[in-house]
Structure 1
């Protein structure tokens, strides 16, 4: 019977010693390893031996010499001599039997020929015994070939996953990781990185290591940071929960500091969208030189809002946090590095910064740094400032944009602590594959948080650790190792423009392009009740099969998805999460599964803590976590164990047809208002999609024939068939890399994928109007009205798809 879950001593009940054990302040450059190494001297001990000392005093050297002689004599008399006496009779018996064997061989004929014939006979008997009497119903594998077309019975392996899931352990991990703030690069972050490293090693993962990278990191500072009305009638509270410690302070990751105090008029610009700026212009309001109040949300990424404000020559942006149920005083932090240009370290866009000695751009020369300062404030303070504006036109929310002169003035100063080259830590561990071990599935989880991060990242961490335990338990219990490798990566600096995942990928682009074939993202795994899935079309068949085998109450997850209605399974991938660089830099098919809900509004505030998670009754029993862990485990096992990488090219071909139709629809929406409509040709793109569908049919027929042959042969695969299967697996991964652009100086260094990815101006969330995550370079050219470039991008994609299809099918 499972033990009752007991809460940890967190929050106000944490002891002073715990506070000192997990400091949250950013460490000094020379003190990260020095002051936080675990000190085990207090528990160290030396085993004492009772050694008879001579009466007279001896020197240390003489005592050592005497002890070594005594020890050697003991080994000789107590170990070597008894073992020798035991072995001698056995050896004599072996020599007698060998002599009789040689005499018998000589009577039969040529000894060399007879010995070889006997060896062949013995091996044939062993092989026959294994194939005849070896049971294919066990979970310990089939040494002579395949069982029903697979190396291991994946279904039986997956059937044991539910019994291995420990909800109590997951909840303990959720609370533990939520008990301390762990901003990227801080000592709390390093403490949890080392915890994960130790957990991986204790559970038997291979090649466990902490990968250290160098990245720009900034931390909030209370000193000389303020936002107040120039007349002294109002000052914003730039911290949460009456706490002025670092993790509670207001700031934006990758934000720009002010040089001196900015004193100027301010305006309200609603959500900071292009249409909001257009409305100000229509009413004769000039934003140049002003501080802009901008609400979070509105389907525009926050970095894009700053980018637009800078183009209009505004002085700074003040973000207003949405009204949250948790508190009107909550302050949301948001990365302002320009992710839609490139993810990663904002001073090394497009290349790795692992060793810290690479070329780093100045702030002004980098394409992804914000060029004007910003700071977030609470909903309560935001409303107080908005109400000071009156007399101008109103936006749709009823708030005035003002613009009358003179309008109120604000004093703003931002003085964050900047670390241009600061360490961040990814933790990596692997389960090696036995057949094609160089190829692998990657399971990634965000570890860092801007405060406690219970739902923002820790729900994913809890599942991540449970998956490690499950897969290593299957290894020990059933002597199982997957056909291809499974890699677990805990990513740091996700809240800093996805620096951890991007730098990790940029440092190993070619191996990932060649051998990585599936990325599964775990971040805000459980924040509500709606089951939602983002997936590459390749994964549709395996996903639907797994959804139909995981239950929730009296129904399966597949029936739950169907009962929710709407588009609960999509190919959107539009949030700022670690799947973005995998898709955009190496075109690795990705998967995200989660229970989502409005509770995630507290993300990146200090109200996203374990207490809020419990009080909101999001998943007290951890049943939703368990369902998703089982679902992910089933999918990973299928992709790691199936003889064929289970991409479904027919599903991809069907979806590409719908994406092409959606592209035409999007182009029509752009050109509808034009007097002279450009003529775009899609015939080449349609032909390449038809070619892909044709070769996909041939491939799936080949797989069907292979399975029939393996079944009829009793599970034995000839070497020629093995080589052909491995070649098909190679070609499937090559298919993905063939759709990457090879530009020397790309306009957007973080975006290489011609088939999937986001245009610069795509919405922050999918409104369901268009398939935004497809054919990004074409859609971007269309949105800018550059129709000649749009036609060029259509032709380039058609050619790339045709070449990829031919290469994949070995047609030349």
Structure 2
């Protein structure tokens, strides 16, 4: 009813305005036009004006206004102290960000609280990995905090190393055996161990960080029967120039031997006690024992400590160089036996993590749109960190505060106001599993699906100089256009030039635009709501350093000094991030016709189906479901429909469109991805509802296209006859769902009056 009333209001306004315009036109001179009619004409001009095109000078002004000194000062304040989710410092920063939004001239800025389940180590009883002899004497004990290497590295509130949501536990091996090195703890790594007859059941496994999400590592270890898992960052991934003092922090950006990556292991998103619903005072909460959390203890350690353990493992040799890391003097044997001279040693893993409900705040600020206040263009960044969080997330927060200042100054100095409402979001408790953003989306899902134009996420603006922009295909062309406007942060004339050069250096014949994984707060918007999203990051140059992430990720060395000295001296990277973010917001807030690139949607889908063909999955699917060809045909039909629609929109942009037609065209494009939202979610994954673009089931960080098909085909050959028949029926149903959604999407782009 609300949307019907809104459309009726717009239509009535348009008619009134047109009448007013005619009256003015029929007048014999400007003196005969009444002030009322002049006002109507002015309103009509606003309704059909393209502020992005007509106010190009403001776009260039924004580029000049993003100030590196402000960014540096912002980051210095944000990263001054540790700010774990739900702590006093986290709350202080939430209030500070709210106040900064209000100082910038925002129309609203509010703290939005949620009471959510978090996990913390015991401050007085730290988690430990120990080696003990047969008499129980401790031969070796791991450290649980980084060694301070710079004057600002130590703080009494800095959290001990732990992996959130893994349980408290005390497990140990037999004397002389029961330890298995499992490489990166991926599915293929455990499969290789089975092939080599290395059984991890009942063992404590030790794995390298990298390649996949740590929660997938814990889950794989648990499902293979391990009783505990130890994680460490190997020098091959985090110290490529050597582990000597002169080659690591504080002298370079590489990780020293005591650096430990903290992080969540929760495989879901949002508050685990209130799945699908916001964790407000009214919410029903599950019992903790009914929540699917890891069942085995887990602990991160530094590579100095990992060396002590790995050197003692004997048994099966590493199967290839791919299994060998960068620790000198370590063979990277698989175990499960220890070497003979350590046959009386026992490995013990003892953790004391505690689950408790804590309050966490989001900060939501708005700049009200002048013409379409009920259409939202959103920018988000999380605030909480595992420590000082200079790069993750504070480089993004520093940028967001500067972007807020710039828009506020535009309003006060030029009188500019966006066509559509801008929404700035500082999320709480992201590090624990995208909790703040997910709770807010669950609370506002109906509004967002009705009104959200685009969500831009800037979790980590600066962990390296290379721009990385996974996004909905609807945003591929717009962000490319913006990159061509923004000066480079290295030696390129523009960020687009640097992005292209990075692609060429990786031997790509065409620029690579990827879809989204679930690595940050865009996930609930994209995968639960079907809202076009972009995750803006600057990371290491892959052809220079072939590493996962960046060396000091989630460690005690993600400090202001690290950022100021090694990662972004001069703050040009964060300036580039702020320029991209600000211009993307203005582009989508001020363009008359929302500048989506619809044609890339079916292109990305076809690429996925082509990959199925190349990998042999299509042949498997055809044997199971002869109607698979209908999915391909429906995609071809959608491609043709979008081609025609895009051509018509380009033609109409040259005409004098009325406000109602403008609104209708924009709504068709804005809600197109929502057609691919499955209300019940993907098979086996109810909170992941996007049927075409989502995260991989086997790596929460990685993107997947048509993830339901890949999930259902996984190891189908290994099922018994009854289970396989059941799985094949699920596949037929899912292909039917996808085919119907393709046809719905094509129908959705028909002329307005057709149903």
TM-score with structure 2 length normalisation? 0.82
Alpha-carbon displacement from aligned partner over 1:33-92 (angstroms, at most 9, x marks no partner): xxxxxxxxxxxxxxxxxxxxxxxxxxxxxxxxxxxxxxxxxxxxxxxxxxxxxxxxxxxx
Whether the aligned pair in 2 keeps the contact of 1:181 and 1:450 (CA below 8 Å) is yes
Q: 2:579 aligns with which of 630, 638, 642?
A: 630
Q: 1:328 aligns with which of 257, 261, 281?
A: 257
Secondary structure at the aligned position of 2:376 is classed as strand
Listed as ranges, the matches of 1:418-429 within 5 Å are 418-419=355-356, 421-429=357-365
The offset of 1:533, in angstroms, is 1.8
Q: Structure 1 stretch 558-567 or stretch 379-388: which is displaced more?
A: 558-567
Report the Cα distance in structure 2 between the residues aligned to 1:621 and 1:322, rounded to whole angstroms. Answer: 30
Alpha-carbon displacement from aligned partner over 1:66-123 (angstroms, at most 9, x marks no partner): xxxxxxxxxxxxxxxxxxxxxxxxxxxxxxxxxxxxxxxxxxxxxxxxxxx9999856
Report the Cα distance in structure 1 between the residues aligned to 2:739 and 2:365, rounded to whole angstroms. Answer: 39
The offset of 1:736, in angstroms, is 2.2
Secondary structure at the aligned position of 1:422 is classed as strand
For the pair 1:240 / 2:186, whether they are aligned, the reply is no
For the pair 1:289 / 2:202, whether they are aligned, the reply is yes
User: Unaligned 5+ residue runs, structure 1?
Assistant: 1-116, 135-140, 711-716, 766-771
Give 2:720's aligned residue. none
Alpha-carbon displacement from aligned partner over 1:507-552 (angstroms, at most 9, x marks no partner): 1111111111211111111111222221221122322221222122
Whether the aligned pair in 2 keeps the contact of 1:678 and 1:787 (CA below 8 Å) is yes
Give 2:745's aligned residue. 804
Secondary structure at the aligned position of 2:33 is classed as helix
**In structure 2, do the counterparts of structure 1 residues 762 and 682 end up closer, same or farther at CA, with 3 Å as the change threshold?**
farther
The offset of 1:332, in angstroms, is 0.8
Whether the aligned pair in 2 keeps the contact of 1:364 and 1:371 (CA below 8 Å) is no
Secondary structure at the aligned position of 2:398 is classed as helix
The offset of 1:309, in angstroms, is 1.5
Report the Cα distance in structure 2 between the residues aligned to 1:407 and 1:269, rounded to whole angstroms. Answer: 22
The offset of 1:584, in angstroms, is 1.0
**In structure 2, do the counterparts of structure 1 residues 495 and 151 end up closer, same or farther at CA, with 3 Å as the change threshold?**
closer
The offset of 1:326, in angstroms, is 3.1
Listed as ranges, the matches of 1:170-249 within 5 Å are 170-224=71-125, 225-231=127-133, 232-241=138-147, 245-249=156-160
For the pair 1:612 / 2:550, whether they are aligned, the reply is no
Listed as ranges, the matches of 1:150-549 within 5 Å are 150=51, 153-224=54-125, 225-231=127-133, 232-241=138-147, 245-258=156-169, 260=170, 262=172, 264=174, 265-297=178-210, 299-323=211-235, 324=238, 325-338=254-267, 342-355=268-281, 357-367=282-292, 369-395=293-319, 396-397=323-324, 398-404=331-337, 408-419=345-356, 421-549=357-485
Alpha-carbon displacement from aligned partner over 1:554-603 (angstroms, at most 9, x marks no partner): 61222222222246642232252112222111111111232211683201
Give 1:579's aligned residue. 522
For the pair 1:592 / 2:535, whether they are aligned, the reply is yes
Whether the aligned pair in 1 keeps the contact of 2:49 and 2:592 (CA below 8 Å) is no
Alpha-carbon displacement from aligned partner over 1:353-407 (angstroms, at most 9, x marks no partner): 122x42333344223x111111111111111111111133324314111123867
**In structure 2, do the counterparts of structure 1 residues 199 and 412 end up closer, same or farther at CA, with 3 Å as the change threshold?**
same
Q: 1:692 aligns with which of 631, 638, 662?
A: 638
Whether the aligned pair in 2 keeps the contact of 1:389 and 1:408 (CA below 8 Å) is no
Report the Cα distance in structure 2 between the residues aligned to 1:729 and 1:684, rounded to whole angstroms. Answer: 29
Alpha-carbon displacement from aligned partner over 1:245-286 (angstroms, at most 9, x marks no partner): 45241111222112x565654322222122332333344433
For the pair 1:741 / 2:675, whether they are aligned, the reply is no
Secondary structure at the aligned position of 1:665 is classed as helix
The offset of 1:489, in angstroms, is 0.2
The offset of 1:694, in angstroms, is 3.2
The offset of 1:487, in angstroms, is 0.4
Report the Cα distance in structure 1 between the residues aligned to 2:233 and 2:626, rounded to whole angstroms. Answer: 43
Report the Cα distance in structure 2 between the residues aligned to 1:588 and 1:450, rounded to whole angstroms. Answer: 29
RCO greater where, 1 or 2, for CA within 8 Å and sep 6 or more?
2
**In structure 2, do the counterparts of structure 1 residues 464 and 666 end up closer, same or farther at CA, with 3 Å as the change threshold?**
farther
Secondary structure at the aligned position of 1:520 is classed as strand
Report the Cα distance in structure 2 between the residues aligned to 1:573 and 1:744, rounded to whole angstroms. Answer: 17
Give 2:17's aligned residue. none
**In structure 2, do the counterparts of structure 1 residues 393 and 619 end up closer, same or farther at CA, with 3 Å as the change threshold?**
closer
Secondary structure at the aligned position of 2:83 is classed as coil
Report the Cα distance in structure 1 between the residues aligned to 2:536 and 2:202, rounded to whole angstroms. Answer: 44
Alpha-carbon displacement from aligned partner over 1:696-754 (angstroms, at most 9, x marks no partner): 244334433433222xxxxxx5xxx2112212222223322221111289621320001
Secondary structure at the aligned position of 1:454 is classed as coil
Report the Cα distance in structure 2 between the residues aligned to 1:666 and 1:530, rounded to whole angstroms. Answer: 31
Give 1:795's aligned residue. 736
Whether the aligned pair in 2 keeps the contact of 1:347 and 1:363 (CA below 8 Å) is yes
Alpha-carbon displacement from aligned partner over 1:406-445 (angstroms, at most 9, x marks no partner): 67422222112431x2101110101111222111111001
**In structure 2, do the counterparts of structure 1 residues 680 and 182 end up closer, same or farther at CA, with 3 Å as the change threshold?**
farther
Secondary structure at the aligned position of 1:172 is classed as helix
Q: 1:782 aligns with which of 713, 725, 746?
A: 713
Report the Cα distance in structure 2 between the residues aligned to 1:207 and 1:655, rounded to whole angstroms. Answer: 38
What's the RMSD between the two structures over aligned residues? 2.9
**In structure 2, do the counterparts of structure 1 residues 201 and 244 end up closer, same or farther at CA, with 3 Å as the change threshold?**
closer
**In structure 2, do the counterparts of structure 1 residues 270 and 622 end up closer, same or farther at CA, with 3 Å as the change threshold?**
same
The offset of 1:152, in angstroms, is 6.7
Q: 2:501 aligns with which of 544, 563, 568?
A: 563
**In structure 2, do the counterparts of structure 1 residues 413 and 216 end up closer, same or farther at CA, with 3 Å as the change threshold?**
same
**In structure 2, do the counterparts of structure 1 residues 668 and 195 end up closer, same or farther at CA, with 3 Å as the change threshold?**
same
Alpha-carbon displacement from aligned partner over 1:168-218 (angstroms, at most 9, x marks no partner): 111001111111000000111111111101001111112210110111112
Report the Cα distance in structure 2 between the residues aligned to 1:320 and 1:213, rounded to whole angstroms. Answer: 33
The offset of 1:761, in angstroms, is 2.0
Report the Cα distance in structure 2 between the residues aligned to 1:445 and 1:330, rounded to whole angstroms. Answer: 25
Report the Cα distance in structure 2 between the residues aligned to 1:705 and 1:274, rounded to whole angstroms. Answer: 51
Whether the aligned pair in 1 keeps the contact of 2:219 and 2:294 (CA below 8 Å) is yes
**In structure 2, do the counterparts of structure 1 residues 278 and 701 end up closer, same or farther at CA, with 3 Å as the change threshold?**
closer
Give 1:639's aligned residue. 588
Secondary structure at the aligned position of 1:555 is classed as coil
Whether the aligned pair in 1 keeps the contact of 2:612 and 2:618 (CA below 8 Å) is no
TM-score with structure 1 length normalisation? 0.76
**In structure 2, do the counterparts of structure 1 residues 670 and 175 end up closer, same or farther at CA, with 3 Å as the change threshold?**
farther
Give 1:751's aligned residue. 688
Report the Cα distance in structure 1 between the residues aligned to 2:140 and 2:670, rounded to whole angstroms. Answer: 59
Report the Cα distance in structure 2 between the residues aligned to 1:186 and 1:600, rounded to whole angstroms. Answer: 26
The offset of 1:635, in angstroms, is 1.7
Whether the aligned pair in 2 keeps the contact of 1:222 and 1:244 (CA below 8 Å) is no
Listed as ranges, the matches of 1:647-658 within 5 Å are 647-658=596-607
Report the Cα distance in structure 2 between the residues aligned to 1:152 and 1:389, rounded to whole angstroms. Answer: 65
Report the Cα distance in structure 1 between the residues aligned to 2:714 and 2:534, rounded to whole angstroms. Answer: 28
Secondary structure at the aligned position of 1:410 is classed as strand
Report the Cα distance in structure 2 between the residues aligned to 1:702 and 1:127, rounded to whole angstroms. Answer: 35
For the pair 1:124 / 2:33, whether they are aligned, the reply is yes
Report the Cα distance in structure 2 between the residues aligned to 1:744 and 1:386, rounded to whole angstroms. Answer: 42
Whether the aligned pair in 2 keeps the contact of 1:154 and 1:641 (CA below 8 Å) is no
- Number of paired residues? 661
